[in-house]
Amino acid sequence: MACKRGALIVLEGVDKAGKTTQCKKLVQALQQSGSPAEMMRFPDRTTTIGQLISAYLEKKSDLEDHTVHLLFSANRWELVPLIKKKLEQGTTLVVDRYAFSGVAFTSAKPGFSLDWCKNPDVGLPKPDLVMFLKLSPAEAAQRGQFGEERYETSAFQKTVQQKFEHLMNDSSVNWQVIDASKSVDDVHEDITTHSLNTINTAQNLQLGELWK
């Protein structure tokens, strides 16, 4: 019998919502329960394209806005063969940010439509579940100051949040909003429940194509 595929699970959310904390905890919990799981994150700063993005985010270089948007997308496409291979092998992938961040961040800049921003990512492996970790700007502020990287200002993050809310109106994507203001353990419990349901259903479904 062919091996059952893993699920593609994405965590999105505003700055400091706890995405990385929760991705790590979810992968650990799945592995401990005997369910193969690995974490990925975007941007993946380890590739050649990822290094260009990283220098841009760290403000060590400047890139034209359309160009950097396409680089973020290319950074996802270059990992598609690996994503598909892992899923086919039965490994669930827990992904820290994906195309939704790509669209939300670029469309928060002046002169960018959501449609233009979505186009380069059309056809990527479609996540079986996208959990949006919702946290108010006031609660995010209590988790520390903004860092030094590009985009880390409260005005820009507010616009990004509005763009995410727009994207969440799309019923072709399996969005779940998670209350990220709860304790780390309570958020983990919510995320694990949604993930286990998704892993069960995804194994009998074909992997879809995003925004197609």
Binding region for ligand Z5A (CB under 6 A): 13, 15-21, 42-43, 57, 72, 97, 101-102, 105, 143-144, 151-152, 183-184, 187
With b for 16 or more beta-carbon neighbours within 10 A and e for fewer, the 170-201 pattern comes to eeebbbbebebbeeeeebbebbbebbeebbee
Nearer to ligand Z5A, 6 or 132 (CB): 132
Q: How far is the CB of 93 from ligand Z5A (least distance, A)?
A: 15
CA-based R_g, the chain, Å: 17
Nearer to ligand Z5A, 72 or 175 (CB): 72
Q: How far is the CB of 135 from ligand Z5A (least distance, A)?
A: 8
**Angle, CA of 163, 166 and 168, to the nearest 5°:** 115
Contact 28, 118 (CB under 8 A): no
Q: Is the dihedral of CA 71, 44, 15, 29 positive or negative?
A: positive
Q: How far is the CB of 201 from ligand Z5A (least distance, A)?
A: 26
The number of angstroms, rounded, from the C-alpha of 66 to the middle of its chain's C-alpha atoms is 20
Nearer to ligand Z5A, 5 or 173 (CB): 173
Nearer to ligand Z5A, 21 or 192 (CB): 21
Q: How far is the CB of 171 from ligand Z5A (least distance, A)?
A: 22
